[in-house]
A and B are shown apart, each in its own frame.
Chain A
Amino acid sequence: MGPRDDSAAVQVQMGSALLSEQTVQRTLELVTELTTRAVRSAVAVSVTLQKGDQPHTANSSHDVARELDEVQYRTDDGPCLEALNRHVVINAALAPARHRWPQFVDAATASGMGSILSVPLLTGERALGGLNIYSRAADPFSPEEQTTASLLAEQGAAVLANVAAFGDATVLNAQLMDALESRDEIGQAKGILMERERCNADAAFDILRRASQRTNRKLRDVAQDLIRSVAEREDGGL
């Protein structure tokens, strides 16, 4: 499977994730799982997310990836943080890079790792986090693997951004549904008053509004009381 095929498969799976899975955690698991499968040299994969200014590993395929990420957070130095902060892809063999990230390279080498590929998860100008791929190979990842990883990171970032937007939309949807219910109840109460007082809709609203002001209760509560009192009277009459 080439990078294009990988991308198509990822888009299909990510698309279904957007429709059926609404949690950030599931998205992160999917990104990790797909990366482990699609990037052949990968032996451990993790996703770093930013919590405020503080990076943390939100998901990992193996403990070693999480441990090596944490070495970088502790020392505030390493390819993952460089990718995240500079918005660039880092694809490096570790042995020649010891002068760049000494503590991280020592820890990674001790864990049997030979190279790392870190890709930022970008949405617009903002980095949501980074995708980190560790390999035992002593050489950097191939250009094809780097392309595949970049496509996965791109899709993952898009889904993460959509999950956040979906959360906002869900809240708005609930508020609008509640507003519709309230509007209906107030409409019913106005109808009751229009019949009882033989007045128009504006005057019925004024009656409700004054009752709200007099009793210091929300208009909807006043309307619900009125509807309830009429229903109880009708039930009593049956």
Chain B
Amino acid sequence: MSEHTVSVILESARTIAGLSSLDLWIGYCGIGGHDSPAAVDNYLTGAALPARLEYDLLAQALNDRFIQLQLDHPVPYAEDIDPYPAVNA
């Protein structure tokens, strides 16, 4: 599983959920996300890879939105992505 795949998962889910990048960041921040809006933009474009926990928080923020849309957790968590790519320091 590549860094590129992670960004494709997040960006396509964001688009389908009908959220702006800022909406996603607000949802992510609201459940404990630590990274900035600019960092989340980079995760969506593939310019950077989120740490495993931050990825799970983004996936959860998206899944929370999908629950409102009557869809049951379509965005995979890091444990479902085998192996989750290593984040370069």
Contacts and interface: CB of A to CB of B under 8 A. Distances in A.
A150 to B, nearest CB: 37
Contacts of A175: 23, 26
A179 B26 contact: yes
A87 interface: no
A216 B66 CA distance: 10
A52 B47 CA distance: 38
Given A212-B63, A216-B73, A183 B56 contact: no
Contacts of A209: 56, 60, 77
B27 interface: yes
Given A216-B72, A218-B64, A176 B31 contact: no
A179 B27 contact: yes
Interface in B45-86: 53, 56-57, 60, 63-64, 67-68, 72-73, 77
A186 B29 contact: no
B64 A220 contact: yes
Given A175-B26, A209-B56, A219 B31 contact: yes
A220 B53 CA distance: 17
Nearest to A210: B77
Contacts of A179: 26-27, 29-30
A202 B60 CA distance: 14
Contacts of A216: 67, 72-73
B26 A205 contact: no
Interface string B12-44: 000000000011001101111000000000000
Contact of A183 (B22, B31, B53, B73): B31
A206 B32 CA distance: 12
Interface string A202-238: 1001100100110011111000000000000000000
Contact of B30 (A182, A202, A206, A213): A182
B67 A218 contact: yes
Interface in A141-182: 172, 175-176, 178-180, 182
B63 A183 contact: no
A187 interface: yes
12 contacts: A175-B23, A176-B26, A183-B29, A183-B31, A206-B56, A209-B60, A212-B73, A213-B77, A216-B72, A218-B64, A218-B67, A220-B31
Interface of A: 172, 175-176, 178-180, 182-183, 186-187, 190, 202, 205-206, 209, 212-213, 216-220
Q: Which 7 A-B pairs have the closest CB atoms?
A: A179-B30, A182-B30, A218-B64, A216-B72, A179-B26, A213-B73, A219-B31
